[in-house]
Structure 1
Amino acid sequence: MGITTYIAIYFIVWWTVIFAVLPFGVRSQHEDGVIEDGTEPGAPQRPLLLRKILATSVIAAVIVGLFYWSVETGRLTLDMFPMPFKPY
């Protein structure tokens, strides 16, 4: 596979991981008891987005790195997956 394929895989894995990481450590304004006027009580007090973006990038890089290693060493091939039809 080419580098473009791995970049696309990284992009997909990154978006999947960010949705898994977003809820970690979030406390709402309601839970902290400090609700600012004009905001939703369920809004996060401190979302820590930069930390979550960095963690997501590292996790996605590890996952894609393991995938790259598996494909390039021959431990993972397309023949291992059942196909509903035979490609021509």
Structure 2
Amino acid sequence: MDVELRASDDDRHRVVADLHRHTTAGRLTLDEFSERVGAVWTARTLGDLAALTRDLPALPDDRATGATDVGHGRRELLVLFAVAALTLLLLGGFLAVTR
């Protein structure tokens, strides 16, 4: 990683998410989290962002642990719910027309 490269908003969002996960794990206090998040939004380079997490251990990759499957499962559940609701509406409309 070239520490002099400019950081993007996606890079900043990633670091904030990592800081949140470390706070949830008890590695950072809420005050430390707030302080570091403030520094994330003023960071200009990837090196500035890396300095904010240098003292924290590496986090496991969500894709490797299956954490992204939770979001996928919720999406499937929403689609199933929408199909069931549409089916009930069509059935209700059919019953109203045929009576």
TM > 0.5 fold call: no
Kindly indicate which of the two structures has a greater share of residues assigned to helix.
2
- Please give the TM-score of this superposition, normalised by the length of structure 2: 0.31
- Please give the TM-score of this superposition, normalised by the length of structure 1: 0.33
- Higher-Rg member (1/2): 2
